[in-house]
Structure 1
Amino acid sequence: MDAQVILGKADAIEASRQAARKAAIAPLATILAERQQLQAALAQTEVPYGKAYAAAEAAGWESSELSELGAEEPTRRPRSPRKRARSGTSGPAQSDAQLPSQAPATAPTH
């Protein structure tokens, strides 16, 4: 058998194999793309879901009751507004100053 004939047969086998592999991956690629779209859509509901869940709790619903309805606790809860510091205080700078009760004890001298 001629080397060119052997290489031609090898190419045909490889092309057939590659075509079968490509045909087998097509359904997976379609479903994978759909899953990615659904996951992105689900991710967009996280914040509104957390707010709605928190509103239901604020209205008196217990988490166990919501669970019975099929509502899972949200993975992300809405942030509660932070309290503003009073204008007369100055945070960490005061912690550096020693208060009389924190003053180092001196050893008695005899």
Structure 2
Amino acid sequence: MKTKKVAGVEVPADLDMNGFESGKHAEPNYSFRLNLIEDARDKINLYFEKTSAFNRKTNSYGLKHRIEGAIGHHLANGELIVAMIGEGYRFERMGINCRFNVSSRSVKELL
């Protein structure tokens, strides 16, 4: 798998602001906002817990909405993915989105 660095995090090369392989759906956008990725990482570290299995109840797009509420700013799907990978979460791709090994309980607690 080809990779690149975004905000100091090694991510798949086809990840952009919208998610994985978004060029199939829209013009790719690589204008990642590093300050928002760092803010998201802080909240992920504070609120979310890792599990051994992938969470089948939510995906990166759903998680981005939870983190947006915590940081008070719009966050792109790709920025959330970078932040989660940067905090050591494993991912399983699902088209433009992905699943993570994040606890459902910890996600529910972040309303």
In the superposition, the TM-score normalised over structure 1's length comes to: 0.23
Which structure shows the higher helix fraction?
A: 1
| Higher fraction of strand | 2
- With a CA cutoff of 8 Å and minimum separation of 6, indicate the structure with the bigger relative contact order: 2
Structure 1 or 2, whichever has the larger Rg, is: 1
